[in-house]
Amino acid sequence: MQVRIAADAPLEVRAGALVVPVFSDGKLEGVAAALDAALGGVLTDVLASKEISGKLAEMSLIHAKEHPFRRVLLVGLGDRAAFEPLVMARYAGAAVRSLGHRNVGEIAVALPLEARAHAAACASFAAEGAITAHLDTTIYQEKPEKPNVATVVTLLAEGFDAEALTRGVERGIAIGEAVNLARRLALTPGNDMTPAHMAQQAQAVGKATGISVEIHDAAWAKSQGMGSFLSVAQGSAQPPAFIVMTYRGDPSSKELLALVGKGITFDTGGISLKPPERMEEMKYDMCGGAGVIAAMQAIGTLKPKLNVVGIVPATENMPGEAATKPGDIVRASNGMTIEVINTDAEGRLVLADALCYANKLGATKIVDAATLTGACVIALGHAAGAAVSNDDAFITQFLGIAKPTGERYWQMPLYDDYTKQMKSDIADLKNTGGRPAGTLTAAAFLKAFVDKTPWVHLDIAGTAYVDNETAWQAKGPTGTPVRAFVALVETLAGTPMIHANGAATARASV
């Protein structure tokens, strides 16, 4: 899909459809008002008849075959007072999905006047929303019915700051494509998405962006003392891969952000085997890792001034003949011993060594993302991920940055009580803490490997993939945590495009 910008004569645009916005106050402005006049008040009629009230992503299609734009799609933006740039992603996404289903290939999308004050952020979200609207799930089908995806989306932005629009669209494309990469990796089934394949995908990102990528094997992991990571890999016929992607955006700085993602390419549970019901979803147990690889792609494209390392410990969790057994004790690379009570609590085992490695590389901040616990889905459902931290200032900053991206995270506490639940009778730690607060005992376990580095842990078990589509997004993998990761990097680099309150940043990047 191409995303273009056009600043003039919106009613002359040749397209399969012209998309215009309306807030829930029903007031027509800008392109919508001009169009209404050109069409003899049709939009006013549609609104007066209450066919559409302007609620977010509500839609009404009007045919106008005498005009160069052929059709008009009126799309609701919701409450005017609640407008934020993120609304543009939902607006553009809903339009692209709806018109795709109607076989319209070229569309023009009018930005509302409200967007002028935040041109860059609004253009970014509109591009991201258009690019991520569809998800091609047909790649494995013999005679695929491909979704009709618009080939050209032109943003109509008369009177907007052209430089800001261009910068915004570039960012939106980079994020949208990264989100789609993460989703594509997630959809790939476990027989194809092996640790080696995941590593190849990281290498391809490196090649395309200039990021340096190292793939380490089991022998290397052993030499690093990564007994915790290797204890998960040893039950599988597929060799593990420890993926390290390094982007040096600010070589003179000592600051280093580590993005760490759980890369379990399939989670059977190991010897503590999972029940069969919905086990196929465990191909998605690499979504944290996919998010890291994809975020690194966007970072390598956008080139913010910050050093970032992406770390993905990739392995299957299988009950092979050499598999770790419940009660086995393993040693992580910081020297701590872990009693493996349940081999299905494997994510924390691979993350333990990855977090140690982030520290070894000199990370000054760490964020990890993992489909870590079923308990997180029980606590928050599919509405939000859990965020847990050892540093109040850092998590407050992170939550402020993530919110306007549309990815939801809800902070949960990390009391010492949870650390106590993880004490083993025989080793330094055990890998499960019983049923109470399963998300937080998992986080307390990870904390032991992070030490003092400011760290945020994201449990994305409920948000990495969803069962239901929305008007603006397909069901399936969501691309979480790519958007939050990229926004975090931009902010730490000193060049955020969106503010914590959702508005554009001051003049510099309006």
Instruction: Provide CB contacts within 8 A for 39, sequence distance 6+.
Output: 62, 64, 67, 72
Query: 202 in the Ramachandran plot: left (φ > 0), alpha (ψ -120 to 50) or beta?
Result: alpha
Q: Do residues 315 and 238 make contact, with C-beta atoms less than 8 angstroms apart?
A: yes
What is the DSSP code string of 354-384? HHHHHHHTT-SEEEEEE---HHHHHHHTTS-
- The neighbouring-strand residues paired with 79 are none
Binding mask 278-297 for Zn ion (x = CB under 5 A): -------x------------
Scanning 95-103, 230-238, 374-382, 404-412 for contacts with ligand BES by CB under 6 A, the matching segment is 374-382
Residue of 38, 39, 377, 503 that binds ligand BES (CB under 6 A):
377
Residue of 342, 364, 424, 505 that binds ligand BES (CB under 6 A):
342
Interhelix angle 287-302/482-492, rounded to 10 degrees, is 40
- For residues 344 and 368, which CB has a smaller minimum distance to Mn ion in the complex? 344
CB 441 to Zn ion: min, Å: 15
Residue of 111, 290, 461, 510 that binds ligand BES (CB under 6 A):
461
Residues 338-367 binding Mn ion (CB under 5 A) are 344, 346
Is 444 among the residues that bind ligand BES (CB under 6 A)? no
Residue of 268, 359, 373, 453 that binds ligand BES (CB under 6 A):
373
**What sections of 303-450 are H helices per DSSP?**
347-360, 374-380, 392-402, 416-421, 438-450
- For residues 278 and 507, which CB has a smaller minimum distance to ligand BES in the complex? 278
CB 344 to Mn ion: min, Å: 4
- For residues 342 and 424, which CB has a smaller minimum distance to ligand BES in the complex? 342
The site that binds ligand BES (CB under 6 A) totals a number of residues, namely 16
Task: Indicate the SS3 state at residue 332.
Answer: coil
Is 177 among the residues that bind Mn ion (CB under 5 A)? no
Tokens encoding 299: 């970072």
Dihedral of CA 174/179/182/188: which sign? negative
Is 316 among the residues that bind Mn ion (CB under 5 A)? no
- Report the residue count for the chain: 510
Residues 251-280 binding Mn ion (CB under 5 A) are 267
Is 385 among the residues that bind ligand BES (CB under 6 A)? no
CB 419 to Mn ion: min, Å: 21
- Report strand pairing: 307-317 vs 409-411: unpaired
- For residues 84 and 267, which CB has a smaller minimum distance to Mn ion in the complex? 267
Burial class (CB in 10 A: 0-12, 13-18, 19+), 219: exposed
Has 348 been annotated as catalytic? yes
Is 371 among the residues that bind ligand BES (CB under 6 A)? yes
Dihedral of CA 441/442/447/449: which sign? positive
Residue of 168, 304, 347, 479 that binds Zn ion (CB under 5 A):
347
Scanning 88-96, 330-338, 345-353, 383-391 for contacts with ligand BES by CB under 6 A, the matching segment is 345-353
Q: Do residues 477 and 483 make contact, with C-beta atoms less than 8 angstroms apart?
A: no
CB 464 to ligand BES: min, Å: 7
Is 267 among the residues that bind ligand BES (CB under 6 A)? yes
Residues 400-439 binding ligand BES (CB under 6 A) are 432, 438
Query: Letter for the amino acid at 232?
Result: V
Is 459 among the residues that bind Zn ion (CB under 5 A)? no
Scanning 4-12, 273-281, 346-354, 472-480 for contacts with Zn ion by CB under 5 A, the matching segment is 346-354
Asked, as a colleague might, if the bond just before 481 is cis with ω within 30 of 0, I would say: yes
Side by side, which strands form the sheet with 329-331? 329-331, 337-339, 429-430
Catalytic residue among 71, 171, 262, 348: 348
- Residues noted as catalytic: 274, 348
- Residues of the shown chain interacting with ligand BES in the complex, contacts defined by CB under 6 A: 267, 285, 342, 344-347, 371-375, 377, 432, 438, 461
